[in-house]
Structure 1
Amino acid sequence: MDLEGIARKLISSHEDARKKLIEELRFYKDEKYPVDKVASAIVQEVSQSLKAGRFTYVKTGIKAGDSGLGSRGIGDHIIHQALFEISGRPLSSFDDAGIEDDVIVSVDGIHSRLGYFPFLAGFHATRATLRDIMVKGGKPLGVIVDIHLSDDSDIGMLTDFEAGVSTVTDFMGIKILSGSTLRIGGDMVIGERISGGIASVGKIGKKRFLRTNVSEGQYVVMTEGNGGGTIATTAIFHGMPEIVDSTLNLKDLLACKVLDRVADKVDSVTDVTNGGIRSISSEINAGRNDGKVTLKVNIAKFKALINSKVKNMLYQLNIDPLGLSIDSILFFTRFPDQIIGSLREERITADVIGTVDKYNGHDIISEDGVPLEENFRESPYTPLKKVIGNWSPYSLVEIHNKVNEAVKESMRKKEEILKNLKTGNA
């Protein structure tokens, strides 16, 4: 519960704000907690903070949820393009990890719905960030942990999270290099929610398996998909916890290790996460003025590589497997047999699921030519997500326009402060 948010919403009436804060505080806090004094202090702090209006954020009128932020689809891409513009990064930054000289880095937030299952949150976030640098040809050196607990979070959440992270790092033979442990909003956020992320750092060799290397004439080899944080979340919130065990493996990371032996036979590598293969195909074309491609996918072969228990769950729940993370690895190659053979030597199932064809106006099509367009959000995979749906109350044009306005104002603020710093006025 965001106490500061409540106070800001009701600050026009200090008494109304104070009463609501007391109500919320009493829900979580015991009798020893100074509820009245805390509520009064929050109202005082928020009231004083209103004087710092010029430092507040740009108001777009579009909320994060309505924009599709974090929901791994078209809306998410619009927001990321805006961030790239502000930071000066190219659209090719849609790739799995960032590379500078021989250093490669990546960061993955914990799955937002695994906050009450911190071991799983730590395990899958660590696995995801390591996979992001490994698919680019990076050799991981270690990870960095950033974990935030709400004021009422049990410390067992923290120890379980660390155990989940270190399960993966121990298996991979790398270290937790550094970390930060804080509370969400300090005293201003009550409840038991945790949030945070895991970053990984590594070194990269001469060959980099970038998405820009995907080109016409390649075959798409996919490994088995056992699911990760998204599939674990699907299982938990549909009352099917037995499926979670299928996600607790690291075959995707072992598949990345095969790159050492087949590097000369592979052009590009990525994983099937972030909105599934529908979104991955869009990201492959992001930032390309020339050289766009169309992925032609054999849907039957794609589905055949999904873990049978996971696949049956998705069928039972009527969830589109093409639109969510299944945690497979995609190899783009002109030597598919050699790649599949090397993967099988490591007991990793793989098959050719498609080809890279000349761009025909669509990022991805089925084998019989039916477009498989990216959705506004990833496939809804929990009961709540199904209620919210795969849409926004705003059109894509409206989102684009509002986000562009925010970019302009944020850039203005950035340039003003930069100018002051350079002239010595800051």
Structure 2
Amino acid sequence: MDLEGFAKRGLSRDDPDIEAKLADAIVEVKGDRISRAYAEKLAEAVLEEARATLNPEGDVFELLDSGVTMGDFGVGSRGLGDFYAHEKIAEVIGETDAVVDSRQLDDSGAVEAGGKYLVLSVDGMHSRLSDYPFLAGFHVTRATLRDVLVMRARPVAMFSDIHLADDGDVSRLFDHLAGIAAVGELTDVPLITGSTLRIGGDMVIGDRLTGCVGAVGVSDSLSPRKDAAPGDLILMTEGAGGGTICAAALYYGWHDVVDETINVKFLEAAAALLEADVEIHAMTDVTNGGIRGDAKEISKTAGVKLIFEEERMAGLVNRRVLDMLEALEIDYLGVSIDALLVIAPPASAEEITRVVRSTGVEIERIGRVEEGLGVELHARDGIKDFEPRFRESAYTPIKKAVDEGPLREFAEMREKVDLAAERAIAKKRRFVDRIRSER
């Protein structure tokens, strides 16, 4: 629970009982470990800090609300709003000298350094795995290593950032690290540094866990999404999912399915391709909003049209995972299945297939790249809609409860988001110019 946010909302509406409510909330979370007197003392201190920071003066504190919340716009939900927000993030960052940066919409970036490409990736742990720290650590580590490998870079080191709320048991910290380190040992990529903090310090109570894992890789060549070219074939490996599938299995009670996700098959297959003398134009992992989301991003970034064959794709989803998704009416095309997508010239397809299968991982051709723009899904009964949804496939009960598309007009929200990004760019420019002038 965010005590500071709770306090400021109460102060903004002149709630006369806000201090007592804060004390009640503190007692509710901390229970017998504290006295009522301690809760009241903490509530008083929270309100003192909240009052001091309600309206600080100075342009560095200036922030005009856009009127659009993260939930309203679907940010983080791997759909249309999320993709649009990431485009605006790239605009706020601005043009860089990187070989691959946020403008290309890849999940990792690259710079030239010492005659090599240095590839960097960072992934946040799945928010719904907070109560299962080992799983959270295991899957976020797989995710960040995938993002480096699909750029055809060899991961050489990892870092982590762990935030555990004030009432979280220390065992959660170690369990989470064990999940990270397990993948590190299985792939020979060491976790060498990181940060461990409490969420919000004393201002957030409860036992929520969050954090991220990043990885650094080195390469002589790259395979960014922008290099997909007309005439290429699209190949996909088998996929059993990661954090997303774990969350679906956990919160729908299909707990045995979680075991299907505990592997490093993707990492082994991608690592084997690093050693192969084969031409590959682009690679990605099937994560952000499923194939629906990844395909649209590739089409936009590379300026090509992608054609997919549905009949070939379904067979590459782990059988137990697919059975669960079908039983729960979750669209497997719109959810992260953690498969490897390889886009390469036809002459490379046979060797790619041989190399991947040599690691014990199945792979099939599932489509092709053509001139044009957009994405098509070819099925037995014709060409189907393959556009990403407003959010990724709803894969937990709460996601199904809120997954009714945008509750507000998307175009109207988009204008407000544009304005917020423009204000952020202007503020960045103002402070950069000010600091430079003072040198």
Q: TM-score range by the shorter chain?
A: over 0.9
Say whether the 8 Å CA contact 1:344–1:350 is kept in structure 2.
Answer: yes
Task: For 1:265-276, list aligned pairs within 5 A.
Answer: 265-276=279-290
Say whether the 8 Å CA contact 1:366–1:372 is kept in structure 2.
Answer: no
- After TM superposition, give the deviation of residue 168 of structure 1 in Å: 0.3
Q: 1:137 is matched with which residue?
A: 152
Instruction: Summarize the Cα distance change of 1:390–1:330 in structure 2 as closer, same or farther, 3 Å threshold.
Output: farther
Aligned mate of 2:66, from 35, 54, 60: 60
Q: Does 1:330 align with 2:336?
A: no
Instruction: Summarize the Cα distance change of 1:74–1:213 in structure 2 as closer, same or farther, 3 Å threshold.
Output: same
Q: Say which is worse superposed, 57-66 or 24-33, in terms of deviation.
A: 24-33
Q: Does 1:388 align with 2:392?
A: no
Q: Does 1:122 align with 2:137?
A: yes
Q: 1:10 is matched with which residue?
A: 10
Specify the SS of the correspondent of 1:29: helix
Q: C-alpha distance in 1, partners of 2:314/2:357?
A: 18
Q: C-alpha distance in 2, partners of 1:135/1:164?
A: 22
Q: Deviation string for 1:184-203 (max 9, x for gaps)?
A: 10011011111110010111
Instruction: Summarize the Cα distance change of 1:23–1:349 in structure 2 as closer, same or farther, 3 Å threshold.
Output: same
Structure 2 residues without counterparts, runs of 5 or longer: 96-100
- After TM superposition, give the deviation of residue 261 of structure 1 in Å: 3.7
Q: 2:331 is matched with which residue?
A: 320
Q: C-alpha distance in 2, partners of 1:336/1:179?
A: 39
Aligned mate of 1:307, from 299, 314, 318: 318
Aligned mate of 1:362, from 363, 371, 374: 374
Letter in 2 for 1:348: V
Aligned mate of 1:412, from 390, 414, 426: 426
Say whether the 8 Å CA contact 1:324–1:379 is kept in structure 2.
Answer: yes
- After TM superposition, give the deviation of residue 398 of structure 1 in Å: 1.5
Q: Say which is worse superposed, 209-218 or 48-57, in terms of deviation.
A: 48-57
Query: Between the two proteins, what is the percent identity of the paired residues?
Result: 37
Q: Deviation string for 1:204-256 (max 9, x for gaps)?
A: 11x21111111111111110101101001100000011000000001000110
Q: 1:239 is matched with which residue?
A: 253
Instruction: Summarize the Cα distance change of 1:95–1:390 in structure 2 as closer, same or farther, 3 Å threshold.
Output: farther
Aligned mate of 2:49, from 38, 45, 50: 45
TM-score (norm: length of structure 1): 0.95
Letter in 1 for 2:120: V
- After TM superposition, give the deviation of residue 343 of structure 1 in Å: 1.3
Q: C-alpha distance in 1, partners of 2:401/2:23?
A: 31
Say whether the 8 Å CA contact 1:96–1:136 is kept in structure 2.
Answer: no
- After TM superposition, give the deviation of residue 262 of structure 1 in Å: 3.2
Q: Does 1:75 align with 2:81?
A: yes
State how many pairs are aligned: 420
Q: Deviation string for 1:301-339 (max 9, x for gaps)?
A: 101001111010001101000001000001112222221
TM-score (norm: length of structure 2): 0.92
Aligned mate of 1:374, from 367, 370, 388: 388
- After TM superposition, give the deviation of residue 120 of structure 1 in Å: 0.4
Specify the SS of the correspondent of 1:77: helix
Q: C-alpha distance in 2, partners of 1:401/1:226?
A: 38
Q: C-alpha distance in 2, partners of 1:263/1:321?
A: 33
Q: C-alpha distance in 2, partners of 1:420/1:326?
A: 47
Q: 2:98 is matched with which residue?
A: none
Letter in 1 for 2:272: V
Q: C-alpha distance in 2, partners of 1:356/1:85?
A: 28
Task: For 1:79-228, list aligned pairs within 5 A.
Answer: 79-89=85-95, 92-101=103-112, 102-205=117-220, 207-228=221-242
Q: 2:362 is matched with which residue?
A: 349
Specify the SS of the correspondent of 2:191: strand
| RMSD value, Cα | 1.6
Aligned mate of 2:269, from 255, 259, 268: 255
Specify the SS of the correspondent of 1:44: helix
Say whether the 8 Å CA contact 1:92–1:212 is kept in structure 2.
Answer: no
Specify the SS of the correspondent of 2:231: coil
Structure 1 residues without counterparts, runs of 5 or longer: none
Q: C-alpha distance in 1, partners of 2:203/2:358?
A: 53
Q: C-alpha distance in 2, partners of 1:245/1:131?
A: 19
Q: Say which is worse superposed, 257-266 or 36-45, in terms of deviation.
A: 257-266
Specify the SS of the correspondent of 2:68: coil
Q: Say which is worse superposed, 386-395 or 174-183, in terms of deviation.
A: 386-395
Q: C-alpha distance in 2, partners of 1:128/1:221?
A: 20
- After TM superposition, give the deviation of residue 177 of structure 1 in Å: 1.4
Say whether the 8 Å CA contact 1:91–1:287 is kept in structure 2.
Answer: no
Q: Say which is worse superposed, 400-409 or 144-153, in terms of deviation.
A: 400-409
- After TM superposition, give the deviation of residue 91 of structure 1 in Å: 5.9
Say whether the 8 Å CA contact 1:94–1:286 is kept in structure 2.
Answer: no
